[in-house]
A and B are shown apart, each in its own frame.
Chain A
């Protein structure tokens, strides 16, 4: 069209390139038949094969799935309650407490929870990681549910009440089904956040309870190997699927 628009589109495309090229390189080199992430030698699946025979990585992946599953489940229940409460009532303390963990740098939550668990004489491991992950997931579920609540027509619940439904029936048969996409989107987001978290986990994980991001960190600290590319690619694939689902279920949820 005109120059300004061309310049704008060109810059925007360049920024998309900046966002995607680094990730593309990780994926491409995961299939490279060379130990170095420097030049393309030939196609190979050997790094994936190595990955599936690495017991440390497999047990870390198992831990990550357990942690993400339980954290997402509990955070979804608590976050849904919080989201509904924040929409229905004028509250002062709860919205602040729900948003603060999202707003503060992760490292602060990591070190303060470390102090907290040690003070309680709790041993660090799966349980401390799960408790920590629930804390930072609640807010994301709450925001997703709150956004969905504001899209529900209030006259539907009022009609149900007029027709004699008690609050529980009204919740179960009207609000919950309408809310479901928001809840599910929040749950998937919580699962993704948990499986991806590095910073908080770094502080509250004890010896012998490694997760995938912790495993990647310790591998990367020692040396850059294509095995890391292979886990990274699989992890990206998982995230891609989950986030596409969230985007389908509740387009607004990801923007908050």
Chain B
């Protein structure tokens, strides 16, 4: 039986080994994935991001338990933690908070190191998610590296993006800066049993009112929104350790999923994600081809000129590209 057939039949060891090959960018892994790609597109991809220490892993644990009991679909979790930029090593500790999920054959958890990527995910996270999608998981929860303000790659990858915040992390100006909050389909203030949670909720709600721009520009509250006027991200509160507020988050996730399906937003997001993936691979491929054709010699010359401050990096690239014709 081929690897693809074993994975489609639910063989978890075959799936785990394929994920390793994909992470290591081995050709045989990508070959199997290309065949599995025909079986993807069914899973709902749920992104979970937010600053370190806000309780992402603990909430993911609760969400996965609730999704298993409420929707009966299989749940996969991809948890990304940072690689050391100095040694390339990593400590992947998200499973510590996910022990409640062990023993359930309908759950599959995979830890990934970011391996130098800076957007909050690893380079191969999309491909790993595709393999899990083909493996029949109806929900795929993608937990990013603890992310601050600009790691918004998850919004391109997921259908529904949850941004997790916690009380006491910053003032209301932090909440109106550009970046991660704009990526949110749902905002969750976790650790809501701690003092200051109300203030964090208020700051987030106020920032949404200020920043909701295109989808709310002319609409006053009494008017029923047109579907294309967009989705208003709700601000929810949870205490994930205690299991409080989790059902409300699941309700909102299911509402967002239904919203995407009725408005065609799901197709739009899928297309955007796949387009970005194709462009990224094209970029890698072109660079590889360019460097391969040149055997590094000319590039070395251009680089020397840059090192000597005779030409700027931008000029060097222009001359490399024009000589290529």
Q: Do A and B bind each other?
A: no
Residues of B within 8 A of A (CB): none
Residues of A within 8 A of B (CB): none
